[in-house]
Amino acid sequence: MLRFILMRLGKAAIILIAILTLNFFLIHAAPGDPAAVMAGEAGAADAKFIAQLREQFGLDKPLLVQLGIYLKGVIQLDLGYSYRQQMPVADLIFQRLPATLLLTVSAFIISLFLGTLAGVLASARVGKWSDTLISSLALLFYATPLFWAALMAVLLFSVYLNWLPGFGYETVGANYTGFARALDIGKHLILPAATLGLFFMAVYMRMTRASMLEVSQLDFVKTARAKGLKPSIIQRRHIFRNAMLPVVTLAGLQAGQLVGGAVLTETVFAWPGIGRLMFEALAQRDYNLLLGVFFVSAAMVLLFNLVTDILYRVVDPRIRVA
């Protein structure tokens, strides 16, 4: 097992370096550079000023040398310095990470829990009106553009009903502490987490339902029935556990997107997370910062792929040996 994990980590490191290299060239292919953007913000600049900035940022060196310097830093776990924010990239990312994780993890847990639950319920009542209702709702959520659902939620719950705050992470300047702050953040969290979770809930529901139905056709379920087991036990012990395998895979995939998958939601709800950081870094051609965000989100994907595989080995005995 340890050997397996080490192998996978080694592989992940190679993929990460490759991704960074690819993205490095991609980003440098974009028009403009951070010096020009910052000069633009200054409202006036001459060639000397821009040249100064470029020298300061090391952008005057040949591209391959820049790549070498960057990768050397990454290998030493140094993600470099943000040009625009004048801060180490790692600090910036870690500042934003909690907000993103709070949002995505809560959406993830809600959607996984409710989605599977709904899927199990629907599969147990297949063909009945409650199944039709759940399935139709899931399809509806599945087809709804996330950002639009978010806007409509803001319109309804924030603008018209005024129940929940529609923007931001916490009440700005309120300076709550302790429990009051947690409550405040919690209130801000509801709408974004719900809209983000809605889509995945639909995905999990559909997958769980389909998987439950498929597994319930398998021979061992018939064996279980032949034993005289109660349907509820068959459902739980035989069908559900086997039906969860593909859901685990999907959950692993989604968990990998926890860092980078919420750009839209963060934009609509002005949630100060990694997604927005990426968008800002992109607009400002803040190369190091953008690569840093990619690094962290890709690392997250790889990490969760690994976690999923390990989890799979725990859940499915067949893989442990093969």
Partner 1 sequence: MADFWKRFSRNRGAVIGVAILVVVLVVAILAPLLLPQSPWRMVQRPFLPPFSMDQYPLGTDALGRDVLSGLAYGAQVSLLVGLVSTLAALLIGIPMGALAGYFGGWVDDALMRFTEFFQTVPSFALAIVLVAIFQPSIYSIIAAIAIVSWPPVARLVRGEVLSLRSREYVEAAILSGQSNLTIILRQVLPNTISPIIVLASLMVATAILLESALSFMGLGDPNMMSWGYMIGAARTVIRQAWWLSFFPGVAILLTVLALNLIGEGLNDALNPRLARRGK
Partner 2 sequence: MTDQVLRVENLKIALPEGADRDFAVNDVSFDLHAGEILCIVGESGSGKSMSANAAMGLLPELVRPVGGRILFDGNDLLTLSEDEMMDLRGRKIAMIFQEPMSALNPLMRVEDQIAEVFEAHGLLTRKERKERAVTLLTEVGIPDPEKAMRAYPFQLSGGQRQRVMIAMALALEPQILIADEPTTALDVTTQAQILQLIRNLQEQRGMAVMFITHDFGVVAEIADRVAVMQYGKIVEAGTADEVLDNPQHAYTQKLIAAIPKLAAEASEVAEPGTPILDVAGLNKTYRTGGGMFGAQARVVHAVNNVSLTLAEGETLGIVGESGSGKSSVGRCLVRLMQPDSGTVKLAGQDMAHLSGGALREARKSIQMIFQDPYASLNPRAKVGRIIAEGPMAHGVSKREAYARAVELLELVDLDALSIDRYPHEFSGGQRQRIGIARALALEPRVIIADEAVSALDVSIQAQVLDLLADLKKRLNLALVFITHDLRVAAQICDRIAVMQKGEIVETGPAHAIFDNPQNAYTRTLIEAIPGREKELAAAG
Partner 3 sequence: MLKKLVPFAAAFLVSTALHAEPVMGGRANVVIQPEPPSLMMGLVQNGPTQMVAGQIYEGLLRYDEKLQPMPQLAKSWEVSDDGLTYTFHLHDNVKWHDGEPFTSADVVFSADVFLRETHARLRTSLEHVESITAPDDTTVVFKLKQPFGPFLGIFEAGTMPIIPKHIYEGTDYNNNPANNTPIGTGPFKFTEWVKGSHILLTRNEDYYEEGKPYLDEIYWHVIPDAASRAVAYETGVVDILPGGSIENFDVQRVADMENTCITDKGWEYFGPHSWMWLNNREGPTADARFRQAVMYAMDRDFARDALWNGLGKVATGPVSSSTRFYSDEVTQYDYDPEKAKALLDEMGYDGETVRLLPLPYGETWQRWAEAVKQNLEEVGVNVEIVSTDVAGWNQKLAEWDYDMAFTYLYQYGDPALGVARSYISTNIAKGSQWNNVEGYENADVDALFDKAAVAVTDEERQELYTQVQQKLVDDVPVAWLLELGFPTIYRCNVKDLVTTAIGVNDGFKDAYIEE
Residues that bind partner 1 (CB under 8 A): 15, 18-19, 22-23, 26-27, 29-31, 126-127, 139-140, 142-148, 151-152, 154-155, 159, 210, 213-214, 217, 256-257, 259-261, 263-264, 267-268, 275, 278-279, 282-283, 290, 293-294, 297-298, 301-302
Place of tokens 């952008």: 59
Dist CA 58 CA 194 (whole Å): 43
Q: How far is the CB of 131 from partner 1 (least distance, A)?
A: 8
Q: How far is the CB of 304 from partner 2 (least distance, A)?
A: 19
Residue 226 near partner 2 by CB under 8 A: yes
Q: Which residues, listed in sequence order, are joined to residue 82 by a DSSP beta bridge?
A: 87
Dist CA 21 CA 23 (whole Å): 5
Q: How far is the CB of 283 from partner 1 (least distance, A)?
A: 8
The token pair at 271 is 């949630």
Q: How far is the CB of 275 from partner 1 (least distance, A)?
A: 7
Q: x/- binding map, residues 240-279, to partner 2, per CB under 8 A?
A: -xx-------------------------------------
Q: Which of 225, 253, 283, 307 binds partner 2 (CB under 8 A)?
A: 225
Nearer to partner 3, 112 or 277 (CB): 277
Q: Which of 146, 164, 218, 282 binds partner 3 (CB under 8 A)?
A: 282
CA nearest 204: which of 95, 317, 123, 126?
Answer: 123
Segment lying near partner 3 (by CB under 8 A), choices 35-43, 127-135, 198-206, 210-218: 35-43
Q: DSSP string covering 61-126, please?
A: S-HHHHHHHHHHHHHTT---EETTTTEEHHHHHHHHHHHHHHHHHHHHHHHHHHHHHHHHHHHHTT
> Is residue 230 helix, strand or coil?
coil
CB-count exposure of residue 145 (10 Å: 0-12, 13-18, 19+):
exposed
Residue 232 near partner 2 by CB under 8 A: no
Residue 171 near partner 3 by CB under 8 A: yes
